[in-house]
Amino acid sequence: MTKKAPARKAKPQFQYDAVVIGTGPGGEGVAMQLAKAGKRVAVVERYQDVGGGCTHWGTIPSKALRHSVSRLIEYNNTPLFSENQGNRHVTFADIMKHASGVIQKQTKLRSTFYDRNRVSLFHGVASFVDANTLKIERNDGSQDMITAEKFAIATGSRPYTPADINFDHPRIYNSDTILSLDHEPKSIIIYGAGVIGSEYASIFRGMGVKVDLVNMRERLLSFLDAEISDALSYHLWNNGVVIRNTETYTSVEGTDDGVILNLESGKRMRADCLLFANGRTGNTDMLNLAAIGLKPDSRGQLSVNENYQTSVDNVFAVGDVIGYPSLASAAYNQGRFAAEAMLNGKANAGLIEDIPTGIYTIPEISSVGKTEQELTAAKVPYEVGRAQFKHLARAQIASTEVGSLKILFHRETKQILGIHCFGERASEIVHIGQAIMQQKGEANSLDYFVNTTFNYPTMAEAYRVAALNGLNRIF
């Protein structure tokens, strides 16, 4: 008598192959990659519009704001206009109207991505029921339950708001609520001199607001090449920003018409308003991660492996919620790589080692590769090539003469080791150097900048000037 083969255990049937929580750059990267691979994908967005914090409260509005202020400064500093018309002034609300238009365009564009790729979109607050079930609570109190084989957490981050500061006070802001500023401050205290604090310091000073920038560290943006950090400090100081290094607050007092900041050093500072810009927290507290055995760290961030997989096999995480590098540009690629791992069991690629940093102060800062301090510590025999923007015809024409480009290269092989730029359009200019740095072998060489032909006049010509300057230092 023939024995019957044991019945195969039926594979659980889920509504979706994958559900992505969050529609910022990281979530979009996951969803688009999976959808294009033919998977059944759903995304959950807490707010009414897609795009995440990047589009609505972070990168897009702050950079649109910065662009408008930068153009205003350029106008007021151009004799052709200012001598005939006088200096112009615009309100914060006026500038935010322009930013709102950009946000609307970005939201509309990103919505079409999900429609075209047949990705189901749910609006509401997501929380785990178990490792394959998600509850979505809508604003009207109704709920949806959806199931999936795999999940990607891309919920981003929000400003860190310590409990001892009353952020409900109308003159105390964080980097999200500052976008709703509805009065015209004559003075502002910015607590936290990281990327966000430094960007807003230059924005408000560009609008003629008195700015006190409180920095807990010894120097601004200490992860930058020291010369670039010093250049930013000098430029802000020269424009009237008061920078207070190695200071920590003890208390914040909100008054009817302003704010008083008390520091551990005994100083008392007063201004019309306060922007607290000291760190961010991962948006994981509403996800009920305990239901699936996940525990974020004290800043709400999750740990992942090289495939962006958490300790729960079918749950992945990307973007700000996993910490460094916390860049919109990197988050999108993290999403793509996580999707590859979800499809194939392993990501075929990872983030490049040298991720460019763009800091949108006025002027901009952008870097890629090693700093002089890192190369010195590693005892790498490097040399430096510099180009001052004030010597470039294009910068003279555009009245954007503040800034410089610095190339760090190996003095024996001429391999490009780092690019550091301070000045208008720095975040664009840096990509030329980045492209050469990514080449293999002899293709990565200072000689490229010497031998290629650049359009004239352009800012890109700074690479040829800097390369020749560097070669002159080799003996």
Could you tell me if 23 and 30 are in contact, meaning their C-beta atoms sit under 8 angstroms apart? Answer: no
Q: Give me the CATH topology for the region 16-159+281-344.
A: FAD/NAD(P)-binding domain (3.50.50)
Q: What is the pLDDT of residue 95?
A: 79
Query: Tell me: the pLDDT tens digits for 361-412?
Result: 999 999 999 999 999 999 999 999 999 999 999 999 988 899 999 999 999 9
Q: Which amino acid is at 255?
A: T
Rounded to an integer, what distance in angstroms lies between the CA atom of residue 75 and that of residue 321?
40
Could you tell me if 109 and 26 are in contact, meaning their C-beta atoms sit under 8 angstroms apart? Answer: no
Q: What is the pLDDT of residue 109?
A: 85
Residue 325 tokens, joined: 């590098």
CATH superfamily assigned to domain 363-471:
FAD/NAD-linked reductase, C-terminal dimerisation domain (3.30.390.30)
Rounded to an integer, what distance in angstroms lies between the CA atom of residue 398 and that of residue 389?
11
Q: What are phi and psi of 260, to 5 degrees?
A: -120, 130
Domain spans of the chain, in order of start: 16-159+281-344, 172-278, 363-471
Query: Tell me: the pLDDT tens digits for 161-209?
Result: 999 999 999 999 999 999 889 889 999 999 999 999 999 999 999 999 9
Query: Tell me: the pLDDT tens digits for 270-299?
Result: 999 999 999 999 999 999 999 999 999 999
Residue 460 tokens, joined: 């890109």
The per-residue pLDDT of the chain, averaged, comes to: 92
Could you tell me if 407 and 470 are in contact, meaning their C-beta atoms sit under 8 angstroms apart? Answer: yes
From first CA to last CA, the distance across the chain in angstroms is 91
CA atoms within 13 A on the CB side of 466: 30
Q: What is the mean pLDDT of residues 341-347?
A: 93
Pairing relationship of beta strands 143-153 and 315-317 according to DSSP bridges: parallel
Rounded to an integer, what distance in angstroms lies between the CA atom of residue 93 and that of residue 183?
8
Q: Give me the CATH topology for the region 172-278.
A: FAD/NAD(P)-binding domain (3.50.50)
Query: Tell me: the pLDDT tens digits for 79-99?
Result: 666 566 666 777 777 777 777
pLDDT band at 316 (very low <50, low <70, confident <90, very high): very high
Q: Residue 449 gets which letter from DSSP?
A: H
Against a cut of 0.85, is the pTM above it? yes
Chain mean position to CA 2: 66
Pairing relationship of beta strands 172-174 and 187-191 according to DSSP bridges: unpaired
Rounded to an integer, what distance in angstroms lies between the CA atom of residue 203 and that of residue 188?
11
Q: What is the pLDDT of residue 141?
A: 87
Q: What is the pLDDT of residue 106?
A: 86
Q: How many other CB atoms sit within 10 Å of the CB of residue 196? A: 23
Residue 172 DSSP SS3? strand
Cis preceding-peptide flag for 457 (omega within 30 of 0): yes
Q: Do domains 16-159+281-344 and 172-278 have the same CATH topology?
A: yes
Percent of the chain past pLDDT 90, that is, above it, reads 76
Residue 1, pLDDT > 60, answer: no
